[in-house]
């Protein structure tokens, strides 16, 4: 199958069009991701209402001070494991 010069030029032109299409789609994706706000869907707009709030540090729950049975169990098993390794 031998192609003449016009067929070769058409094939190269199609390749250029496909490459440019990929470049423009990639540029649009980068622009869309850079300009997005938290909670925005990809094809939707800015969500209505409050999306997510972080409670203040003073209102956050405190971590428990005493160790639970599960924590003690993990600590003892870890110590036994480290003793078997010779540490």
At residue 26, the pLDDT reads 95
Note whether 14 and 4 are within 8 A (CB). no
pLDDT digits (tens, 9 = 90+) for 3-41: 899 999 999 999 999 999 999 999 999 988 888 777 677
Domain ranges of the chain: 1-40
Give the C-alpha separation, 44 to 54, whole Å. Answer: 24
Provide mean pLDDT across the span 70-84.
89
Q: What is the model's pTM?
A: 0.46
| 70 vs 59, more confident | 70
Confidence tier at 79 by pLDDT (50, 70, 90): very high
């Amino acid at each position: 199958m031998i192609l003449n010069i016009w067929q070769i030029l058409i094939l190269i032109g199609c390749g250029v069009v496909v490459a440019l299409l990929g470049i423009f789609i990639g540029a649009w994706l980068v622009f869309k991701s850079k300009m997005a706000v938290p909670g925005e869907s990809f094809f939707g707009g800015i969500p209505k209402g409050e999306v997510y709030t972080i409670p203040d540090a003073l209102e956050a729950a405190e971590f428990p001070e005493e160790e639970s049975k599960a924590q003690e169990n993990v600590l003892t098993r870890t110590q036994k494991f480290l003793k078997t390794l010779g540490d």
